Amino acid sequence: MIASHHAARARHPALGTLLALSLLAALALAVVVGPGGVAPRDALQLIARRLVGAGPPTDPDVALVDAIVWSLRLPRALLAALVGAALGVAGALTQGLFRNPMAEPGVLGVSSGAAVAAVLGFSLGLDALGLWVTPALSAVGAIGILLALLALAGTRHGIATLLLAGVALAALCSALTTLMLALASERWDLGLKVVRWLMGSFEGRSWDHLAGALAPAALGLLAGAWLRRDLDTLQLGADTARSLGVRLERVQLLTILSAAILVGTSTAVAGVIGFVGLIVPHVVRMLAGPGHRRLLPLSGLLGASLVVLVDTGSRAFGDRSLPPGVITSLLGAPFFLWILRRHGRRLDHLDR
């Protein structure tokens, strides 16, 4: 155990550098891939021109490429990176709080809670009030589901109770979402908008969406980083953590709020992107160990790279593209079953 811990620490700097370079490569790929190919050198020059404060090019052909790169692809790629980082860190926080590798905001119904609150906002037309309304509603929905989950299952029960409570809450939220869509069946524009949003997508996202998501996501990420030591201590058990001075109720509440803000913000701007919070922390934990000082930032980097690559892949084959949320679910469901098979005989003991 000690040798593997030191080996994980030794790999951490190289792994962090590798993941950071992978993220930069994914962002570069996202800018050049898609209909209307853009040469990497041209894209880099146009981005550098904008960063130094120059306006749009006057040449019509160059201006078209500039619009594709600066106004369409770059904000979309950066938003995908922000969402991936938020979901990766939210998954690591949730798994740390419940002390098991199966805990993930989407599996536990948090994404469904964020979704039902956002759909309610769409149905009432509240999203027209500003970009901040939908993220705020989604965060409230996510917080409500997590608080309900803690009230029903707590943090000391087995994984079966936890997952059953999450499944029940997710089913309730899905039923409420379907009910709102049924009541608004004559509003085809609303139904189409909600269905596309529920599948998860970065299509049509702009700098305004990125600006609206940046502040709450940064708040959730910073709060998660501040909790890293307490989450490490919590892995020793609730009684041991309390004897070492950890205020469990405060740590639980702050962890819930951080994860809810991250998931709520991500769901608001991109729809439901499932299973990222399950896959990413689990992979990072296998590579770098369970310590949250490494787990949280590396989960953010890997989550950002994964979502950017998934979004890029979703639009790499012409006009007919798959929603990124569908792709992550196709990847995540088999991964979830693999974790269940791997830990099946030990899951009931992971909370002790």
213-256, pLDDT tens digit by residue?
898 899 999 998 999 998 888 888 777 878 877 777 788 888 88
Is 55 inside a domain boundary? Answer: no
As for how many domains the chain has, the answer is 1
Is 194 inside a domain boundary? Answer: yes
Is 307 inside a domain boundary? Answer: yes
Q: Does 311 have pLDDT greater than 90?
A: yes
Is 135 inside a domain boundary? Answer: yes
Is 126 inside a domain boundary? Answer: yes
Q: Does 6 have pLDDT greater than 50?
A: no
How many CB atoms are closer than 10 A to CB 342?
Answer: 12
Is 49 inside a domain boundary? Answer: no
Contact call for residues 231 and 93 (beta carbons, < 8 A) = yes
Residue 311 sits in a domain of what CATH number?
1.10.3470.10
* Percent of all residues in the chain with a pLDDT value above 90, rounded to a whole number: 22
pLDDT value of residue 2: 41
Is 174 inside a domain boundary? Answer: yes
Q: Does 328 have pLDDT greater than 50?
A: yes
Q: Which domain holds residue 302?
A: 83-344
Is 15 inside a domain boundary? Answer: no
Tell me the average pLDDT across 43-48.
84
pLDDT value of residue 246: 79
